[in-house]
């Protein structure tokens, strides 16, 4: 069976016998302090997730650009390596006639 992990820090709050909420057992100043800390923690979490999203988007863009660069290099290599004989075998008769007549 799995056991629950023990907390590394001792809790500073009061232990309540009833099942009331944490905020109801605090006074108003403590609630305001708690709300401020919770809001700053929430803002920090949001900024971290936004930063991670931007990093992953940038890495996706970089990787897709790398893939297209590799594909372009391969395409340019294959275009230069093809000889006129290969073109003659794969070209249609109309293309061959156009090349002969226009001499390009």
Is 71 a domain residue?
yes
- Which CA distances in Å does 65 have to 51, 54, 62, 68, 76? 21, 16, 5, 5, 16
Looking up tokens 């863009």 gives 61
Decide: pTM greater than 0.85: no
Q: How far apart are CA 64 and CA 4, in angstroms?
A: 44
Q: State the residue range of the domain holding 69.
A: 25-102
Is 32 a domain residue?
yes
Tell me the pLDDT tens digit for each residue of 65-103. 777 877 777 766 655 556 777 777 888 888 888 888 887
Q: State which H helix or E strand residue 71 sits in.
A: helix 28-81
Total of domains in the chain: 1
Tell me the pLDDT tens digit for each residue of 7-49. 777 777 666 566 567 777 788 898 889 889 999 999 999 998 8
Find out whether 86 and 78 touch, Cβ atoms under 8 Å. Answer: no
pLDDT of residue 40: 92
The single-letter DSSP state of residue 8 is S
Is 43 a domain residue?
yes
């Amino acid at each position: 069976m799995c056991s629950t992990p023990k907390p590394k820090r001792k809790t500073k709050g009061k232990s309540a016998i009833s099942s009331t909420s944490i905020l109801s057992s605090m006074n108003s100043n403590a609630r305001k302090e708690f709300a401020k800390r919770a809001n700053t923690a929430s803002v920090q979490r949001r900024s971290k997730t936004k930063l991670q999203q931007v990093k992953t988007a940038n890495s996706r863009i970089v990787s897709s650009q790398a893939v297209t660069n590799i594909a372009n290099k391969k395409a340019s290599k294959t275009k230069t390596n093809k000889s006129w004989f290969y073109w003659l075998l794969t070209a249609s008769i109309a293309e061959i006639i156009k090349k002969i007549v226009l001499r390009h």
